[in-house]
Structure formats: structure tokens, C-alpha cells
Amino acid sequence: MSDVPVLVTGATGFLGAHVARALAEVATVVGAARRPGVSLDGVADVDVCAVDLAERGAATQLVRATAPRAVVHCAALANAGACERDPALARRVNTAATVELAAACVAIGARLVFVSTDLVFGATPPPPGGFDEAHATGPVSVYGASKRDAEERALAVDPGAVVARLPLLYGDSFGRGLGATDALHAALARGETPTLFDDEFRTPLDVADAARALAELATTADPPRGVLHLAGPDRLSRWDLGMLALAARGLAPDDARSRVRRAPRAAPDLSPPRPADCSLDATRARASLRAALRSPREVLRPA
């Protein structure tokens, strides 16, 4: 195993923890996150250093200090509501820091794998089969716009970078109630009756599948470059995904339906703005990666 590390930003987040874990099997890994003193104890044997990527120069300094061979850039102000409330912070963390990372990677010859989102789309409905990589972007939220701007500016600085667009992620958050399905389970455990939209569609992906694909992109000899969609093969509503998750926990269909509120989106007053359908077409990734991008129907089997 090479001693030259792979750097994972946002290593303590829902996705980053899985990326750190997947990479630690094949590489020396160093993690970074905003809050000092956080650790990945029990998840991965990876040290995490503190950095605030909202500060100008912090991303450059982080790359200089860690001298990685590749960076998987998961860190983001990933909460869309927080981005609407503080667009300047969203631009600093999501856009400016990513561009800085891209320049720092070019300076030392490191590979950048930037984690972006299906929410760079939304202004128009997807074609049948979902948005492919060539489709024009059209974000409808501050979050989506900050990521779209990051993609374009990072690729201008580092044309060899990989921009991996991810869909709605679900799966194990190591007991933290993060992500689409663990947040649902946590809400039910608190005695709440969560609402699940039956007319909001995504191509959800298990967070561990996403992490293995990102680890492959960071370490394989000749990865696909530029924009790449990593997504599940099935277009599902939030309701569909929730029902699968509850069945996988052993709930009978009637019991599952009684625990959650099924509702249509009230589109005009949704805040932050959320596209009705951001389905991604991941044909290119399926053809070029070993990592599986499985359907929730395969991952969330009835218990």
C-alpha cells in the first residue's frame, strides 16, 4: 500500500465516513472536517484533521500539509435550507473552496474527485431514462447553483478532475440518523409521523455503493474524467424508497403505511425549492467502473 495518502474532505459526514472506510481498505487515508476533535472511531482507522473550508486559503493549506495523491472532496454545506439562508457561505464552502482545491491539486499533480449532486438539474424535467452527463444543467436552489458553479470552475482549472454527481443517498449512517432512510427510521423512533412525497422522483443510491465507486475513481489507474453520474438504476419516489426501507426493517406493508404520511408535493411553496424529478442516467459509470451501483430494490430486501 502506498504511503502517499488519499485525502477525504468531509470525512465525518454521511458520505465521507463511508468513503474513508472504503478507501482505508486499499490506501493510506487522511480525513478532514470542519469541527475539531471529531473522529471516525468504530467506522474507519483514519485520522481526521480540522479545517474550515469557508476560510480563504484553507483548502490550499490543507493540500500542502497533507500532500495527497488524490482528494475525494465530500465536504459541503449540504443542507439545502442552510444554503438558502446563507448563500454567501454556500458559495464560499461549496464553490470557492472547491476551485481552490482544484488549483491545489493541479499544483502537486494530485487527482481531484469532486462530489457533486443531481440538484444541478431541476429547472426542466429529465428525458426518459434520466439526465445524462451531456444534458444542460439548470439548478433551482442556492445549493444546486453553488455546486453547478463549482463543477464548471473546478473543471476549468483542472480538466483532468472527476466530477461525480450523486443522487439522493440512503443507507447506514452509523447510528446518526443521516441520509434518506436512517432519517426516516430516526423520525419513527422519536414517535413522529414523517411525510413522504409520492410525486418527487430520484434515482437513489446506497451510500456504501457510492463510496466504493468514489474510492475506485480516486485510486484506479485510468478513471473516466470529467462529469460522471453515479446513480441507482431505478426512478423511485420518496414514498417508494420509504416503503422499501420499512419493509427491509421487517414492517408489513399495512403497518409501514400507517406509520408515515403519504402526500403529494405542494410545489409552489416548497422551501428550499426542490425539483420534482432529478433522475440521473448512470450508463457511463456502469460501463466504466467495477463498483456496483445497485437498485434499492436489491439492497433493501424485505426482512
Ligand X SMILES: NC(=O)c1ccc[n+]([C@@H]2O[C@H](COP(=O)([O-])OP(=O)(O)OC[C@H]3O[C@@H](n4cnc5c(N)ncnc54)[C@H](OP(=O)(O)O)[C@@H]3O)[C@@H](O)[C@H]2O)c1
Contacting positions for ligand X (CB under 6 A): 10, 12-16, 33-35, 38, 51-54, 74-78, 93, 115, 117, 166, 168-169, 178-179
Q: Which is nearer to ligand X, 27 or 178 (CB)?
A: 178
Q: Is the peptide bond before 272 cis (omega within 30 degrees of 0)?
A: yes
Q: Which is nearer to ligand X, 52 or 257 (CB)?
A: 52
Extract the runs of DSSP E, i.e. beta strands, from the chain. Answer: 6-9, 29-33, 47-50, 70-73, 111-117, 162-166, 169-170, 195-197, 201-202, 205-206, 226-229, 236-237, 261-263
Query: Quick one: how far is CA 16 from the chain centroid?
Result: 8
Q: Which is nearer to ligand X, 38 or 106 (CB)?
A: 38
Q: Which is nearer to ligand X, 24 or 166 (CB)?
A: 166
Query: Quick one: how far is CA 89 from the chain centroid?
Result: 19
CB of 190 to ligand X, least distance (A): 19
- The CA-CA-CA angle for residues 16, 10, 182, to 5°, reads 50
Backbone angles phi, psi at 27, to 5 degrees: -150, 160
Please tell me whether residue 237 adopts helix, strand or coil conformation.
strand
Helix (H) or strand (E) holding 101: helix 97-108
Sign of the Cα pseudo-torsion (274, 277, 281, 282, in order):
positive
Q: Which is nearer to ligand X, 176 or 284 (CB)?
A: 176
CB of 32 to ligand X, least distance (A): 7
To 10 degrees, what angle do helices 14-24 and 207-219 make? 50
Q: Which is nearer to ligand X, 23 or 53 (CB)?
A: 53
CB of 241 to ligand X, least distance (A): 11
Q: Closest residue to ligand X, Cβ-based?
A: 13
Separation CA 112–CA 159 (nearest Å): 10
Q: Which is nearer to ligand X, 52 or 198 (CB)?
A: 52
CB of 109 to ligand X, least distance (A): 23
Q: Which is nearer to ligand X, 52 or 250 (CB)?
A: 52
CB of 297 to ligand X, least distance (A): 18
CB of 117 to ligand X, least distance (A): 4
CB of 257 to ligand X, least distance (A): 24
CB of 298 to ligand X, least distance (A): 19
Q: Could you tell me if residue 37 is left (phi over 0), alpha (psi between -120 and 50 degrees) or otherwise beta? A: left
Separation CA 187–CA 179 (nearest Å): 12
Separation CA 75–CA 100 (nearest Å): 13
